[in-house]
Amino acid sequence: MNARSRTAEKPFLSDVKTLRARARKHLETGAVGTNYAGDVKKTIRILQTVLATGVVCTLRYTQNAIAAHGISSEGAKAEFAEHAREEWGHATQVAERINQLGGDPDFNPDGLLTRSAAQYAIGSNLVEMIRENLVAERIAIDHYRELVRYFGNNDPGTRVMIENILTVEEEHADDMHDLLVAHEGTPMLPE
C-alpha cells in the first residue's frame, strides 16, 4: 500500500458538519471531547506525579536560594530563585491541565514526596546543593522524556506541555552543570 492510499483511508479533517455535531455531544467531558485517544484517569494520575515533582523542586530551589551562603554564592542563589519560579510555573501549568481533564490537582503536602519523581535533598553546602539540583533535573528529564513518548499522539495537548517543560528542565540541568563546573573547577561533561 502506498502513502497516497493510506492518506485516502484516513482523511486529514472531518467535514465541518461532523466536527460541529461531535462538538455538541457529551459537553460534560469539557476539554476532553469525544476523540481523546488516551486514558483520562491514567493521564491524571501521571500528571499528579509531574505536579508533585514541580512542587518539590520549587521547594528545594527556594530553600537553596535562601540557605546558600558564602562569598561566591550570589550567582547560585539567583539561579536557584529563578529556577524556583520556573518550577512553580510548571506545577501551575500541570495543575491547570489536570483540571482541564476533569481531575482535581493534588497539592496536599502529605503525599508530595511519595508522588514526586524528584527527591527533596538539599545538600549541606553550596556544591552539594548544586549537585542535588543537577540530580533532580536529570531525574525529571528522564521522566519527562518517557512521558513524551507515552502520550505521543494519544494526547498531543499533554505531550506538548510536557515537551515545553522538558526543554526548560534541560536548561536547568545545563545551568546546574555550569555552576558545578564553576565551583569545582573541572568539567564533568566531555567538551
Q: What average pLDDT does the segment 72-81 reach? A: 94
Of 147 and 28, the one with more pLDDT: 147
The pLDDT tens digits of the residues spanning 123-154 come to 999 999 999 999 999 999 999 999 999 999 99
Model confidence at 189: pLDDT above 60: no
Q: Which one, of 185, 162, 153, lies nearest residue 37 by Cα?
A: 153
Give the position of cell 567538551.
Answer: 191
- The C-alpha atoms of residue 59 and residue 175 are separated, in whole angstroms, by 18
Q: Which of 165, 189, 183 is nearest to 83 (CA)?
A: 165
Q: What domains does the chain contain, in order, with CATH numbers?
A: 36-184 (1.20.1260.10)
- Digit-coded pLDDT (tens) for 112-125: 999 999 999 989 99
pLDDT of residue 5: 54
What value, to the nearest 5°, has the Cα angle with vertex 94 and ends 62 and 27?
Answer: 155
CA distance 54 to 153: 24
Which set of grid coordinates corresponds to residue 141? 528529564
